[in-house]
Amino acid sequence: MQKVIIDCDPGIDDSLALLYALKSPEIDVIAICVVCGNVPVGIGVRNVFHCLQQCNRLDIPVYLGASQPLVVDFVSAQDTHGLDGLGESNLAKEVIDLPVQPMSAATFYATTFSQPTDIAVIALGPLTNIALALTENPKVGLHMSRFVSMGGCYKSHGNCSPVAEYNYWCDPHAARQVYQTLQCPIEMIGLDVTRKIVFTPNLLSYCQYIHPQMGNYLAKLVQFYFDFHWQQEHLLGCVINDPLAVAYFIHPELCEGFTTYVDVETESISRGQTLVDRYHFWQKADNAKVLTEVHTDQFFIQFLSVLLDAPAQTIAEDLTLWKIG
């Protein structure tokens, strides 16, 4: 089993990603770090405990991370995820409030990665915790087995400005520091691929038929996200970005892309934009793998089979034969 630390800001799609990761037999989630992003960090911690409780995994340590970006003012995405980060579903109201670990998320990374390990990091939120860890220990990236980041965009338009994706826009200085200094190839799961992952009302109904308990839970979680996407872009359903980062981590064949040098703009109207130097104008050494293609059907087969405790073969037949999507 591949050991992994998940850095997140739950968030509706982070919560889906956490449930998926916690239920996936291929990975061992050894810790969860929380960062401010979709919601203030304290709300994010509460939502992490809710996900852990849902999966009977309250044994996994939770580390409190940054409560604000490195330089810019903090702007949450509660318009997208609801004031509680869970689509105002109230799902976390009965959460068991356990204490977080005494160490900060940044110090946890700095110590965990003070020597070579076989531990990977999947970052589903702004990169503030990782940047702070790099400041404490510039070698953290050298000692992790893989680093997958949901963020950025190459040819796709942004989702919070014409050119910027939220995670990198929220803390552009952290994103820039991580791209410039991590020394571990950054596997960038950006909007080019995540925009294709649309969880539709049809798929939700399918989940309710196959696994009523999980299906009804998902219905409560995603309704706000459905409404947001309809109002914002007349999309029926919602784009669930973060579970793709986990799925790609487990099944790299789900996405294709290219390696290149990536930098992040920190200022002005292009704040948070990813500059993907595909044709090597800058002659800089590659620091990233930018994923641009995704096998959407295969993603949903993997994701739903884990979430719904159903054989992948059954899901595959239903989705492809009956064209549920």
Instruction: Name the residues that contact ligand BDR, by CB under 6 A.
Output: 11, 13-14, 38, 77, 80, 124-125, 150, 159, 165-167, 241-242
Q: Are 255 and 110 in contact (CB under 8 A)?
A: no
4 forms bridges with which residues in the sheet?
29, 120
3-class secondary structure, 141:
helix
Does the protein bind Ca ion through residue 172 (CB under 5 A)? no
Closer to Ca ion at the Cβ: 72 or 324?
Answer: 72
- State the Cα–Cα distance between residues 39 and 45, nearest whole angstrom: 10
Please report how close the Cβ of residue 135 comes to Ca ion at its closest, in angstroms. 22
Does the protein bind Ca ion through residue 85 (CB under 5 A)? no
Partner whose footprint covers residue 171, from ligand BDR, Ca ion, none (CB < 5 to 8 Å by kind)? none
Helices (H), the chain: 12-23, 41-54, 78-81, 105-112, 128-136, 166-170, 172-181, 191-194, 201-210, 212-233, 242-250, 296-307, 312-321
CA atoms 231, 233, 234, 235: torsion sign: negative
Q: Determine the interface stretch with Ca ion among 7-15, 47-55, 80-88, 90-98 (rule: CB under 5 A).
A: 7-15
Please report how close the Cβ of residue 254 comes to ligand BDR at its closest, in angstroms. 17
Does the protein bind Ca ion through residue 65 (CB under 5 A)? no
Q: Which of 60, 120, 124, 222 binds Ca ion (CB under 5 A)?
A: 124
Please report how close the Cβ of residue 205 comes to Ca ion at its closest, in angstroms. 25
Does the protein bind Ca ion through residue 190 (CB under 5 A)? no
Closer to ligand BDR at the Cβ: 151 or 210?
Answer: 151
Q: Can you count the helices (H) and strands (E) in the chain? A: 13, 11
* Burial status of residue 252 (CB atoms within 10 A of its CB: 0-12, 13-18, 19 or more): middle
Does the protein bind Ca ion through residue 192 (CB under 5 A)? no
Please report how close the Cβ of residue 47 comes to Ca ion at its closest, in angstroms. 11
Q: What is the phi/psi pair of residue 153, to 5°?
A: -155, 150
Partner whose footprint covers residue 165, from ligand BDR, Ca ion, none (CB < 5 to 8 Å by kind)? ligand BDR
- State the Cα–Cα distance between residues 135 and 66, nearest whole angstrom: 13
Q: Which of 7, 14, 192, 265 binds Ca ion (CB under 5 A)?
A: 14
Please report how close the Cβ of residue 261 comes to Ca ion at its closest, in angstroms. 25
Please report how close the Cβ of residue 281 comes to ligand BDR at its closest, in angstroms. 26
Partner whose footprint covers residue 77, from ligand BDR, Ca ion, none (CB < 5 to 8 Å by kind)? ligand BDR
Q: Which of 4, 6, 11, 20 binds Ca ion (CB under 5 A)?
A: 11
The residue sitting closest to ligand BDR, measured at its beta carbon, is 166
Whether the bond between 11 and the residue before it is cis, its omega within 30 degrees of 0, is: yes
β-bridge pairing 27-34 and 2-8? parallel
DSSP per position, 152-172:
--SSS--SSSSSB-HHHHHSH
Chain contacts with Ca ion (rule: CB under 5 A): 9, 11, 14, 124-125, 242
